[in-house]
Amino acid sequence: MTDASSTPAMPVTIHRGDYRPPEWQIPDIALDFALGIDATRVAAALSVVRHADTPVPLVLRGDGLTPAAVRVDAEVWNDWRLDGSDLIVDLGDRTAATVEVDTVVDPASNTQLSGLYASNGMLSTQCEAEGFRRITFHPDRPDVLSRYKVRMQGDKAKFPILLSNGNCIDRGEEGSDHWALWEDPWPKPSYLFALVAGDLVVNRDSFTTMSGRNVELGIWVRDGDLDRTGHAMQALKDSMAWDERVYGREYDLDLFNIVAVSDFNMGAMENKGLNIFNTRYILADPDTATDMDYDGVEGVVAHEYFHNWSGNRVTCRDWFQLSLKEGFTVFRDQSFSADMGSPAVKRIEDVRLLRAAQFPEDAGPLAHPIRPDSYQEISNFYTATIYNKGAEIIRMMATMVGPDRFRKGTDLYFDRHDGEAATCEDFVRAIEDGAGIDLTQFRRWYEQAGTPRVAARVDANAATGERTLHLAQTVPPTPGQPDKQPMLIPLRIKAFDLDGGHGDEAERLVLLDRAELAVPLGPYRSRPMLSINRGFSAPVIVDFAREDGELAWLAAHDDDPFARYEALQQLMLDTLVAAVSGEARANDAVIDAIARTLEGAGEDPAFAAEAVLLPSEAFIGDQMVTVDPDAIRRERLALQGAIGTALESEWRAILAGAAPPAADLSRAAKGRRRLRGVALAYLAATGMADIPALAFKTFSDADGMTERQAALATLAHGDSDERVAALDIFYQRYRDNPLVLDKWFQVQAWSLRPDTVDAVKELARHADFTLANPNRVRALYGALTGNQAAFHQADGAGYRLIADLVIALDPKNPQTAARMIPPLGRWKRFDEGRQRLMRAELERILAQPGLSRDVTEQASKSLLG
Ligand code: B3K
Ligand code: ZN
């Protein structure tokens, strides 16, 4: 297998409107693997059935494969040819046949981590979206569903454990080899195929389903990692119970296996009955994982488990429908995590992620609707838009109909489409029919890209005191979509009456379904306190001119915690944007609001910690016409320092008590640790002389990773001897633990120090840095692109570093290389000097010979702006 063979010179654009049903279906597949790290022989037998009315050849997609032999109905067959990398088999006028194709793949040299690859001496697969064609010739499209029987044979010592989808129905030995036969009774698309062979140990448990069936659960890891799998196992059992309770969905096999792999392009993969995970989302113990890592494990285990219904039992007709499974499954995992912890904090985290990752995507050259109309490389569409905006679209439907009717809709969806490859339209129609709602206009969320803006204003009839809320929406132009239609935007609002007059204090759901809408609020003696888009009921930007004191009032009194958070954030944002624009503005209102939030922190410290965090540098930049990264950094640090100084005693009091024991993972303990991290960061921004020693003490005293990492990150921003000592101690202690070593790279790339770009350049030459591991690449370079002032250093050194990375990584791992490009594509938002430098780097990338389709698509679209 040569990686270059998957690199066409001219990328072809695939259009959603060109969908045609498959001409051949494959009800059954038998695969026989003779396993080897450098050479695995794959014998595939496809039982094909023609669905086209007239004779058509069978087209089997391949990527880097050569057929070693082709047989049809057990006879050697010569009526085949290669068309590019695809195998075309002429079957004459047959309507059914068994087509056998033998291939050989080289897992050791598969650095793309797509298809069958070797990682740490074990073999594993990643087939979504189009990796199966790197293992054997196949239509490799999600609307071809088959029952799989998989035989695998290999050296007992090298591959003691042999796993695939479904149930193991037979096994045996042959000399130094052993073999296993797996059968998956559920028809599935090729992207859900999985195989793992290696030296693994298992954490076993079981789950009894709601109908009383016993399911054997296994989490497979490398020797030595077993004692870090407990949290993932608990999360799995919690997910299984939750999906039964909330969606009525029961697991459907006797076995559910998860394997953790250290080299993995994404977070995890929902292969039927055999989920494969990035170790990052399985392994956790208090010494090595932060509370946030624990939450990540729980959320991703749930996400992949939930795919068993939303994705596997009902799959996607084509890849344009990706959000059908991803948006819905993200919504399901978000709801699960909210139920397991704090709904308010979870909502804040999800909205923060949406604003950090999706809003910029929607506002830039790579903007696309949650159901895209075209793509060149589908791997580039595993985006925040498909996933996170997709989840918001599902959430809006749920908000509009309420939980009971939503459940009727999803029941109908699963009933109607079980065993099928469905479309987003199928989902919307099931919600319409099951929940009883007309979603005609709502469908525009699937069609139109861009984040809608809603301008809101309240006026009064002087004679009657009657107040009216005026709403006006605009959807910005995006690539290929210059003109937009009005969306259906559900806004939860409440107008508080501060003056004791008759007011409408009940929350209501306003459906903004046209360009402009006037909503009567009722009579109020004074201007009502408007709380709008409560709970972030719609993924939009609301522009509402506030009078002095309003945001502070809402931050203190709104009965929706998300709205309290939002008001305090807006107050901070207004203050920061004014400062960056050179307007003098007092910090008192922000400081008072934070003080008040801290007073109530005892009840919900996690909420308080979230609420008092300053908006990120990137989010401040998103509010500006031209982003000034240096001024944003300066003013944000200045405000942080001012808050640190003004509330010094409060922060010190938070830190004075002992930290909760690291093994205490209760909501309260996690919240207190989070607040302590925030307190330390505020104090550090003051520049007070004793802070490095205090941070170092926190670092040294820490009995777990949450406190240790927070203290290390704080020290990493500064210039103290303690910084050098802590980084060294951390490195020596964890140099053999790859996931923790990632943190060591990451905190240095996150540093607010002026020399961070140079430090990253240096770290890339560190003996422990490697381009072969996507986690390590993201830890160093991904952290740099998230460090706004460093990445956008005025001399362009940050841009150059990322472009150099993309160029070096593309021949090895195009998927991960392409994911580093979008930050360079935001050039339009910056000053002319930076624009020129960013574009020059995109041009330099595009000038490289033999670029992958992945990088070509992302870089060329990014250059267009
Ligand atoms: N469905 C996988 C994504 C795999 C994509 C690979 N290019 C992970 C998930 O969303 O659950
Ligand atoms: Zn998913």
538, 396 Cβ separation under 8 angstroms: yes
Structure tokens at 514: 């046209």
Measured in Å, residue 126 CA sits from the centre of ligand 2 at: 13
Q: Is 203 left (phi over 0), alpha (psi -120 to 50) or beta?
A: beta
Measured in Å, residue 64 CA sits from the centre of ligand 2 at: 27
Q: Are strands 58-60 and 24-34 parallel, antiparallel or unpaired?
A: unpaired
CA dihedral 623→629→633→635, nearest 10 degrees, is -60
- Three-state SS for 75? strand
Half-sphere exposure of 274 (CA within 13 A, CB side): 24
Query: How high is the pLDDT of residue 501?
Result: 56
Please report which ligand is nearest the Cα atom of 192: 1
Report the atom number in ligand 1 closest to the C-alpha of 326: 10
The rounded distance, in Å, linking the Cα atoms of 453 and 115 is 42
The answer for residues whose C-beta is within 8 angstroms of residue 800's C-beta and 6 or more apart is: 841
Dmax over CA atoms of the chain, in Å, equals: 96
Nearest-CA residue for ligand 1 atom 7 is 379
Nearest-CA residue for ligand 1 atom 8 is 269
Residues with CB under 5 A from ligand 2 (ion): 326, 329
The answer for residues whose C-beta is within 8 angstroms of residue 328's C-beta and 6 or more apart is: 310, 390, 391, 394, 427
Q: Which of 63, 269, 333, 379 to mutate to test the pocket of ligand 1 (most atoms within 8 A of CB)?
A: 269
% of the chain residues with pLDDT over 70: 98
Model's pTM, two decimal places?
0.98
The rounded distance, in Å, linking the Cα atoms of 2 and 63 is 9
The answer for residues whose C-beta is within 8 angstroms of residue 424's C-beta and 6 or more apart is: 321, 323, 324, 370, 371, 446
Nearest-CA residue for ligand 1 atom 10 is 326
Measured in Å, residue 128 CA sits from the centre of ligand 1 at: 6
pLDDT in tens, 713-733: 999 999 999 999 999 999 999
The answer for residues whose C-beta is within 8 angstroms of residue 5's C-beta and 6 or more apart is: 63, 64, 85
235, 203 Cβ separation under 8 angstroms: no
The rounded distance, in Å, linking the Cα atoms of 486 and 538 is 14
Q: Which of 112, 266, 304, 858 to mutate to test the pocket of ligand 1 (most atoms within 8 A of CB)?
A: 266
Could you tell me the residue ranges of all domains in the chain? 1-199, 735-865
Q: Is 113 left (phi over 0), alpha (psi -120 to 50) or beta?
A: left
Q: Is the predicted pLDDT of residue 466 greater than 70, yes or no? A: yes
Which residues does residue 529 pair with via DSSP β-bridges, in sequence order? Answer: 496
Q: Residue 9 — very low, low, confident or very high, per pLDDT cuts 50/70/90?
A: low
DSSP state of 847: T
Nearest-CA residue for ligand 1 atom 2 is 269
Q: Which of 270, 276, 315 to mutate to test the pocket of ligand 1 (most atoms within 8 A of CB)?
A: 270
> What single letter denotes the amino acid at residue 435?
A
Structure tokens at 7: 């690199």
The answer for residues whose C-beta is within 8 angstroms of residue 283's C-beta and 6 or more apart is: 221, 225, 228, 229, 232, 260, 289, 297, 739
The rounded distance, in Å, linking the Cα atoms of 370 and 390 is 6
Q: Which helix (H) or strand (E) holds 71?
A: strand 69-72
Measured in Å, residue 89 CA sits from the centre of ligand 1 at: 31
Report the atom number in ligand 1 closest to the C-alpha of 267: 8
Measured in Å, residue 288 CA sits from the centre of ligand 1 at: 26
128, 378 Cβ separation under 8 angstroms: no
Measured in Å, residue 11 CA sits from the centre of ligand 2 at: 26
Question: Looking at domain 735-865, which of 3.30.360.10, 1.25.50.10, 2.30.30.90, 1.10.645.10 is its CATH number?
Answer: 1.25.50.10
Measured in Å, residue 773 CA sits from the centre of ligand 1 at: 17
Nearest 5°: CA angle at 25, between 423 and 410?
25
The rounded distance, in Å, linking the Cα atoms of 284 and 269 is 19
Query: How high is the pLDDT of residue 396?
Result: 99
The rounded distance, in Å, linking the Cα atoms of 319 and 331 is 19
pLDDT in tens, 790-825: 999 999 999 999 999 999 999 999 999 999 999 999
Structure tokens at 251: 């697991």
pLDDT in tens, 531-560: 999 999 999 999 999 999 999 999 999 999
Q: What value does the mean pLDDT of the chain take?
A: 97
Q: Is the predicted pLDDT of residue 1 greater than 50, yes or no? A: no
Q: Tokens 């949406």 belong to which residue? A: 354
Measured in Å, residue 521 CA sits from the centre of ligand 2 at: 41
Distances in Å between the Cα of 489 and the Cα atoms of 152, 402, 451 are 52, 16, 11
Distances in Å between the Cα of 688 and the Cα atoms of 570, 642, 696, 717, 834 are 28, 12, 14, 14, 34
pLDDT in tens, 468-521: 999 999 999 999 999 999 999 999 999 999 886 544 579 999 999 999 999 999
Report the atom number in ligand 1 closest to the C-alpha of 379: 7
% of the chain residues with pLDDT over 90: 96
Following DSSP, what letter does each residue of 607-626 receive, concatenated?
HHHHHHSPPPHHHHHHTSSS
Q: Is the predicted pLDDT of residue 4 greater than 70, yes or no? A: no
Q: Which of 130, 323, 382 to mutate to test the pocket of ligand 1 (most atoms within 8 A of CB)?
A: 382
Q: Is 175 left (phi over 0), alpha (psi -120 to 50) or beta?
A: left
Nearest-CA residue for ligand 1 atom 1 is 269
Please report which ligand is nearest the Cα atom of 330: 2
Nearest 5°: CA angle at 196, between 194 and 200?
145
Q: Residue 5 — very low, low, confident or very high, per pLDDT cuts 50/70/90?
A: very low
Q: Residue 585 — very low, low, confident or very high, per pLDDT cuts 50/70/90?
A: confident
Which residues does ligand 1 sit against, CB inside 6 Å? Answer: 128-129, 266, 268-270, 303-304, 307, 326, 379, 382
Distance of CA 525 to the CA centre of its chain: 47
- CATH code for 1-199? 2.60.40.1730
> What single letter denotes the amino acid at residue 280?
R
Nearest-CA residue for ligand 1 atom 4 is 128
Structure tokens at 126: 């990643």
More confident residue, 645 or 501: 645
Distance of CA 358 to the CA centre of its chain: 10
Which entry of 130, 270, 304, 326 is annotated as an active-site residue?
A: 304
Report the sign of the C-alpha dihedral through residues 840, 841, 842, 843, in that order: positive
| Burial of 812: CB neighbours in 10 Å, binned 0-12, 13-18, 19+ | middle
Query: How high is the pLDDT of residue 18?
Result: 98
pLDDT in tens, 841-858: 999 999 999 999 999 999
Q: Residue 813: what are its φ and ψ, rounded to 5°?
A: -145, 85
Structure tokens at 725: 């000592």
Measured in Å, residue 303 CA sits from the centre of ligand 2 at: 6
Q: Which of 128, 324, 857 to mutate to test the pocket of ligand 1 (most atoms within 8 A of CB)?
A: 128
Helix extents (H) in 418-474 = 424-435, 444-447
Q: Tokens 């609307």 belong to which residue? A: 143
Measured in Å, residue 387 CA sits from the centre of ligand 2 at: 8
pLDDT in tens, 366-403: 999 999 999 999 999 999 999 999 999 999 999 999 99
User: Within 10 A of 689 (CB to CB), how many other CB atoms are there?
Assistant: 8
Measured in Å, residue 254 CA sits from the centre of ligand 1 at: 24
Q: Are strands 453-460 and 541-544 parallel, antiparallel or unpaired?
A: parallel
Nearest-CA residue for ligand 1 atom 9 is 269
Q: What is the chain's percent helix, strand, coil content, to nearest 5?
A: 45, 20, 35
769, 761 Cβ separation under 8 angstroms: no
Measured in Å, residue 326 CA sits from the centre of ligand 2 at: 5
Q: Tokens 């290669």 belong to which residue? A: 82
Distances in Å between the Cα of 59 and the Cα atoms of 46, 82, 167 are 12, 10, 30
Catalytic status, residue 304: yes
521, 452 Cβ separation under 8 angstroms: no
Query: How high is the pLDDT of residue 861?
Result: 98
Following DSSP, what letter does each residue of 35-77 receive, concatenated?
--SS-EEEEEEEEEEE-SSS--PEEEB-SS---SEEEETTEE-
Half-sphere exposure of 296 (CA within 13 A, CB side): 16
More confident residue, 345 or 504: 345
Helix extents (H) in 190-290 = 230-247
Q: Is the predicted pLDDT of residue 686 greater than 70, yes or no? A: yes
Nearest-CA residue for ligand 1 atom 3 is 269
Q: Which of 282, 326, 813 to mutate to test the pocket of ligand 1 (most atoms within 8 A of CB)?
A: 326
Q: Is the predicted pLDDT of residue 8 greater than 80, yes or no? A: no
The rounded distance, in Å, linking the Cα atoms of 173 and 178 is 4
- Three-state SS for 508? strand
Report the atom number in ligand 1 closest to the C-alpha of 387: 10
Q: Is the predicted pLDDT of residue 133 greater than 50, yes or no? A: yes
> What single letter denotes the amino acid at residue 657?
G
Structure tokens at 787: 């460090």
Q: Is the predicted pLDDT of residue 203 greater than 70, yes or no? A: yes
The answer for residues whose C-beta is within 8 angstroms of residue 602's C-beta and 6 or more apart is: none
Query: How high is the pLDDT of residue 2?
Result: 38
Which residues does residue 469 pair with via DSSP β-bridges, in sequence order? Answer: 458, 519
Average pLDDT over residues 203-229: 98
